[in-house]
Amino acid sequence: MYIVFCSHPLYPKQVDDEYQSEFEACRQYGFTPLLFSFEELIEHNEMKIYPQINMEPQKAMYRGWMVTIEQYTLLYEKLKENNIHLLTSPTEYANIHYFPNAYSHIKQYTPLTTWISKEHIHDEALVLKQTAIFGDSAMIVKDYVKSRKHEWDTACYVPNAEDTEKVLHTVRNVIRLQGEALNGGIMFRQFIELESIGIHEKSGMPLSREFRIFYFNQQPVLTENYWEEIQYEQDQIPLSFFNKVAKDIPSSFFTMDIARTINNEWIIIEVGDGQVSGLPSYDLSHLFYRKLQKCN
């Protein structure tokens, strides 16, 4: 199987620095790494693959930068023209990349969530209608993919959803800061207090005992601490429970971020496409590809 990486912006025959460790590890465990220029693809609609390959059909997995659904569809089709078939179809990518598309599959295991599509994000009456469901609970504001968690107090966290001035101010900040990179629309999620491991020293964001599970073909490949900056134990994770939930996720390769609440209940924080989800640490590259090899 091919693993498709983005090349270095200045050196098309070198992998992007961010994926150097994975590039080396995948080759060691029997995968064939390929490079393409992300810039050439997006700006010029061209797919240049290095090294050159034969044209026999081959399966592939993308490991690279987060892309929009439209960009992923272009990548998928251009690779297909070269007889390279990504395991994750554009439909699967859309199903898992935009959280509202996956919400119905994990609704009972994740915080209450509402959302507004991109064309309506400036409708402040609609914003207040969608946030009224949270009552006086705390909530998080983000787009369909990413949060501004490092601007915790100004563009992410709302202590009381009934504070309409704070709600609208936070939404405006998210829209302004995300700019053209805003994905899909705006989401509102109930804030659930989790087991704490501290406070981020720069942003003031609470840090909790979160874990990331990579699933390939509904099988767990890797379970690791979400935060690499702080050491904490992986004790008592109910992996068998989350494995059952994973069987209903409409994707062949995805991540599931989980945590335990202060009430000792395990919840799903979010799910995401595995191709564009980062490993918590560079040091995990060899472990990741060794385990992926066993599932392939």
Residue 217 lies in a domain: yes
Q: Is residue 283 domain-shared with residue 269, that is, in the same domain?
A: yes
Residue 92 lies in a domain: no
pTM, two decimals, is 0.92
Helix (H, G, I), strand (E, B) or coil at 222: strand
Residue 93 lies in a domain: no
Buried b (16+ CB within 10 A) or exposed e, 137-166: bebbbbbbbebbeebbeebbbbeebeeeeb
> 179: Cβ–Cβ under 8 A, 6 or more apart, which residues?
none
Q: Is residue 199 domain-shared with residue 278, that is, in the same domain?
A: yes
Sign of CA dihedral 276, 277, 281, 286: negative
Residue 106 lies in a domain: no
Q: Is residue 178 domain-shared with residue 202, that is, in the same domain?
A: no
Distance, CA of 212 to chain centre = 10
The CATH number of the domain holding residue 178 is 3.30.1490
Q: What is the DSSP letter of 276?
A: G
Residue 170 lies in a domain: yes
Q: Is residue 199 domain-shared with residue 287, that is, in the same domain?
A: yes
Q: Is residue 19 domain-shared with residue 81, that is, in the same domain?
A: yes
Residue 100 lies in a domain: no
Cis peptide before 9 (omega within 30 of 0): no
Distance, CA of 283 to chain centre = 19
Axis-axis angle for helices 164-178, 124-131 (nearest 10) = 120
Domain count for the chain: 3
Q: Is residue 206 domain-shared with residue 183, that is, in the same domain?
A: no
Residue 256 has a pLDDT of 97
Residue 47 has a pLDDT of 87
Distances in whole angstroms, Cα of residue 174 to Cα of each of 88, 188, 250: 30, 12, 29
Q: What is the pLDDT along the chain (296 residues), one digit of tens a residue?
A: 999 999 998 888 999 999 999 999 999 999 999 999 988 988 888 888 888 777 788 899 999 999 999 999 999 999 999 899 999 999 999 999 999 999 999 999 999 999 999 999 999 999 999 999 999 999 999 999 999 999 999 999 999 999 999 999 999 999 999 999 999 999 999 999 999 888 877 778 888 899 999 999 999 999 998 887 777 777 789 999 999 999 999 999 999 999 999 999 999 999 999 999 999 877 899 999 999 998 87
The CATH number of the domain holding residue 273 is 3.30.470
Residue 104 lies in a domain: no
Write out the residue range of the structural domain in which residue 137 sits.
Answer: 112-190
Instruction: Dump the DSSP string for 61-130.
Output: EE-SS---HHHHHHHHHHHHHTTEEESS-HHHHHHHHSHHHHHHHHGGGS--EEEEEGGGTT-HHHHHHH
